[in-house]
Structure 1
Amino acid sequence: MTADAPSAAAVKAAAPAVRGPRARTGTRYLRYGAGKVGGAAVSLLAVLVTGFFLFRLIPGDPVKTMTGGRPISEEQLAAYRREFGLDLPLWEQFTDYCGKALTGDLGTSYQFRAPVIDKISEALPNTLLLTGTAFVLYTVLGIVLGTRSAWRHGGLGDRLNTGLALTLYSIPSFWLGLLLIIVFSVGIGPIPGLFPTGGMESGSEEGFAYVLDVAHHLILPVVTLVAVEYGQTLLVARSALLDEMGSDYLTTARAKGLRDDLVRRRHAVPNALLPTVTLVFVNLGRTVAGVILVETVFSWPGLGGLFYQALSVPDLPLVQGLFLFFAAAVIVMNTLADLVYPLLDPRVGR
């Protein structure tokens, strides 16, 4: 052993100092993540309680609504109420609902006489097809146009993009959907009716023709969602990039001789995406939850249309189950965004 070589004891003593910062970072992240997951669990519990009492304020008798106004005796009404547990005291209904919900049992739908979880499972793929397609389109469109507008802010393209985004974002989605139906489904003036007025399929197609038929029905509701939602993504992406425009690292990148487009794509945009990540995850949660108004306007057989049907009865187990599912989707996506933040910017978890 030479005089300059470190001893085994010295190496062992120095090892904790090397591993220490990483271990502390991991511990901080675990504490941060545990806090976020705990907060999400509390939020879900609050939604569970709120949903039970909120929808019992809806006027109307579910049993009488299900009979369709037909003459029915008090004995028959009492039998229906016993069947659905509506004759129990409110506190007993509440404890029964919470106990079953925590085990994944959301009850049985009054009008469909089927488990609520089964009805959600049937409608979920249709919602994901509609809102998932729209989500991908308006996210890509918003980020691309938003970053380009910010990079050339003040120009004609920036003013046109921002003005159009603000205008469309302020339009109610149901109003725009109805307008598109009038113009492109019913037809107006020289414009013929090109698209179906609603639904998901014609019901007579098979194979590849069926895929084209569904795509044909999908166009107007997707256009409605993209037109209304892309503006928010564009404005957030534009604002985030504008905040980065004066940073020193961009000046350094330009001084190294990098092309302006390369500086934008490799340096500015990745550092400006953090606020946009929140919006993307929130919109992803809304994608799972569906868009009630758009699905109702276009008679799309998804979770939004199912929720509207359930409210009209009111079908309390189905309404409560969908409300819990919608809220859970948003809460889970927000929690995932919080957990991803420290991976993108280590300062967040400190």
Structure 2
Amino acid sequence: MSSAGQTAADALAEPAVRVRTPRARATTAYVRYGAGKVGGALVSLLAVLVTGFFLFRLIPGDPVKTMTGGRPVSAEQLASYRREFGLDLPLWQQFTDYCGNALTGDLGTSYQFHAPVVDKIGEALPNTLLLTGTAFVLYTALGILLGTRAAWRHGRLGDRLNTGLALTLYSVPSFWLGLLLIIVFSVGIGPIPGLFPTGGMESGGEEGFAYVLDVAHHLILPVVTLVAVEYGQTLLVTRSALLDEMGSDYLTTARAKGLRDDLVRRRHAVPNALLPTVTLVFVNLGRTVAGVILVETVFSWPGLGGLFYQALSVPDLPLVQGLFLFFAAAVIIMNTLADLVYPLLDPRVGR
């Protein structure tokens, strides 16, 4: 057989080389990217678990003595309490027990409520989600709407007013604004009567639709506080992203085709400019859940924030640690989801 024939036979005998398509390469790159982000999130959660255990043990005060309410208690009774809650164990053993239980979903038993921490979080979570969910939807929609209009009319009076107001409110502490709203609209000042409750979630004694209206009435001021403080960031990010898109060639082409300015903005500019805003939405969702502590405390809202403040005053170590872990996990999980979603919206990310 000639050398040419032998070469052809060898080529036919060799197994075919698998050619990876661009789609397969992109999928592999995304899996590696996602695995890295999830791994980083798990490391962050572990760091939060360790930090939370040691951080809150620096709080001055004896939780066992606080639980007695100042009543005279014998040393034997105090020792019995410490044995009951494991406070008589060496610190290293308390730490290993805490980590082992937390990994199985057991965050311990509250000192003051004598109930599982997970149950106390579950009881208060719906109230927090009602407050933060309502505020989140409102300030996200308001920020995107005003940011879009400000960018499309940048440099005009409306743009300057919107941007200036957003920057001012974004720099205001939420607890200070909440107290100011209570003074003006709950207590009443000058000709302004007290229109809203000073705190709480309900007046009591209401049922059915009257109960819904009562809760909505109590919800207004804390929601206004959160919306006023938070919408500015969404506005500024949306405005900046849209301004970057304004000079793009595809917008000039769309205008040259005779499309109205409003259609060019809604169909072409805004969808592309919303990529950074989508990431911010996920981040804000986790940050709002974790950052509602001050607002709930000011308005005596019976949610996770108020529960955290109450636990700190004891200090109720298992409840404080459990809430700290929950708040941190909310932020970490939402940040990770933002990292995982963004490459799906912009394939250039993660490659």
Distance 2:135 2:229 in 1: 10
Matched residue SS, 1:186: helix
Structure 1 residue 3 displacement after superposition: 24
Structure 1 residue 314 displacement after superposition: 0.5
Matched residue SS, 1:68: coil
Distance 1:302 1:311 in 2: 14
Matched residue SS, 2:20: helix
Q: Is the 8 A contact 1:290 1:303 kept in 2?
A: no
Q: Is the 8 A contact 1:196 1:217 kept in 2?
A: yes
Structure 1 residue 253 displacement after superposition: 1.4
Identify if the C-alpha distance between structure 1 residues 4 and 53 changes in structure 2 by more than 3 Å, giving closer, same or farther. Answer: closer
Q: C-alpha deviations, 1:267-309, integer Å up to 9, x for none?
A: 1111111211221111111244350000000000000000000
1:87-102 matches, cutoff 5 A = 87-102=88-103
Structure 1 residue 214 displacement after superposition: 0.2
Distance 1:39 1:337 in 2: 14
Matched residue SS, 2:16: helix
Match of 1:215 in 2: 216
Distance 1:194 1:7 in 2: 87
Q: Is the 8 A contact 1:289 1:329 kept in 2?
A: yes
Matched residue SS, 1:6: helix
Identify if the C-alpha distance between structure 1 residues 9 and 95 changes in structure 2 by more than 3 Å, giving closer, same or farther. Answer: closer
Structure 1 residue 256 displacement after superposition: 1.5
Distance 2:26 2:73 in 1: 68
Structure 1 residue 11 displacement after superposition: 14
Structure 1 residue 48 displacement after superposition: 0.4
Structure 1 residue 132 displacement after superposition: 0.5
1:1-350 matches, cutoff 5 A = 20-289=21-290, 291-350=292-351
Distance 2:13 2:55 in 1: 70
What is the root-mean-square deviation in Å for CA atoms of aligned residues? 3.1
Matched residue SS, 2:146: helix
Distance 1:309 1:263 in 2: 52
Distance 1:182 1:11 in 2: 75
Q: C-alpha deviations, 1:93-151, integer Å up to 9, x for none?
A: 00000000000000000000000000000000000001110000000000110011011
Identify if the C-alpha distance between structure 1 residues 254 and 65 changes in structure 2 by more than 3 Å, giving closer, same or farther. Answer: same
Distance 2:272 2:61 in 1: 53
Structure 1 residue 204 displacement after superposition: 0.9
Matched residue SS, 1:283: helix
Structure 1 residue 6 displacement after superposition: 18
Q: C-alpha deviations, 1:216-260, integer Å up to 9, x for none?
A: 000000011111111111111111111111111111111121111
Structure 1 residue 168 displacement after superposition: 0.8
Structure 1 residue 5 displacement after superposition: 23
Q: Please report the TM-score for the alignment, with normalisation by the length of structure 2.
A: 0.94
Identify if the C-alpha distance between structure 1 residues 193 and 27 changes in structure 2 by more than 3 Å, giving closer, same or farther. Answer: same
Runs of 5+ consecutive residues of structure 1 not aligned to the other structure: 13-17
Q: Is the 8 A contact 1:292 1:307 kept in 2?
A: yes
Identity %: 92
Q: Is the 8 A contact 1:290 1:302 kept in 2?
A: no
Q: Is the 8 A contact 1:127 1:290 kept in 2?
A: no
Matched residue SS, 2:162: helix
Distance 1:300 1:210 in 2: 16
Q: Is the 8 A contact 1:205 1:213 kept in 2?
A: yes
Structure 1 residue 310 displacement after superposition: 0.5
Q: Please report the TM-score for the alignment, with normalisation by the length of structure 1.
A: 0.94
Matched positions, count: 344
Identify if the C-alpha distance between structure 1 residues 141 and 7 changes in structure 2 by more than 3 Å, giving closer, same or farther. Answer: farther
Distance 1:206 1:139 in 2: 32
Identify if the C-alpha distance between structure 1 residues 64 and 271 changes in structure 2 by more than 3 Å, giving closer, same or farther. Answer: same
Q: C-alpha deviations, 1:308-342, integer Å up to 9, x for none?
A: 00000000000000000001111111111111011
Deviation >3 Å, runs of 4+: 2-12, 287-290
Q: C-alpha deviations, 1:24-66, integer Å up to 9, x for none?
A: 1111111111111111111100100010011111111101111
